[in-house]
Amino acid sequence: MNIKETYYWVTYNTILFFLPICEKLEFVGFSDQILAFLLTLQHIASSNLVFITSKYVPFRIYLYSVICYAFANTDESRDKDADQFITTFRNELIQYKQLEDNNINGLNQIIDTCFGEKASLNDVYSSAF
């Protein structure tokens, strides 16, 4: 296991610490200033193998929604970048869903999410779309 995956909880807790702060900054009009930071957090989360598991889909959706809000509230329109970001994220989730669907238990399997809730994989992925 890569050292990056070994300490995934540090990354997870750091991102969870910064997201509410970023939401407040977006609310007061600093979306332009924090967008690059949010995209860096997204890159870190998507490059860590632990975070591409179904358990972390709610976490990834939370991060995704904060980034979309930042794209929507920038001073200059970034529609092209936002569309590319949305398409990439959606394609990632479709691939994860297909992998889980091909699993022995399929999408009916119940998992513990990263937020401590029990949910079926079908519900986890339906919340993303």
Dump pLDDT digits (tens) for 29-88.
999 999 999 999 999 888 887 887 788 888 998 999 999 999 998 988 888 899 999 999
Mean of pLDDT values over 97-106:
75
Nearest-angstrom CA–CA distance, 118 and 29: 36
Nearest-angstrom CA–CA distance, 58 and 25: 22
pLDDT score recorded for residue 5: 55
Mean of the per-residue pLDDT values of the chain: 85
Following CA atoms 40, 115, 18, 126 in sequence, which dihedral angle do they give, to the nearest 10 degrees? 50
The answer to whether the CB of 100 falls within 8 A of the CB of 107 is: yes
The answer to whether the CB of 7 falls within 8 A of the CB of 50 is: no
Domain count, the chain: 1
Of 2-16, 79-93, 114-128, which has the strongest mean pLDDT? 79-93
pLDDT score recorded for residue 3: 52
- Judged by phi (left if over 0) then psi (alpha if -120 to 50, else beta), residue 29 lies in left
b/e sequence 8-41, b meaning 16+ C-beta within 10 Å: beebbeebeebbeebeebbeeeebeebbeebeeb
Domain extent, residue 102, equals 3-128
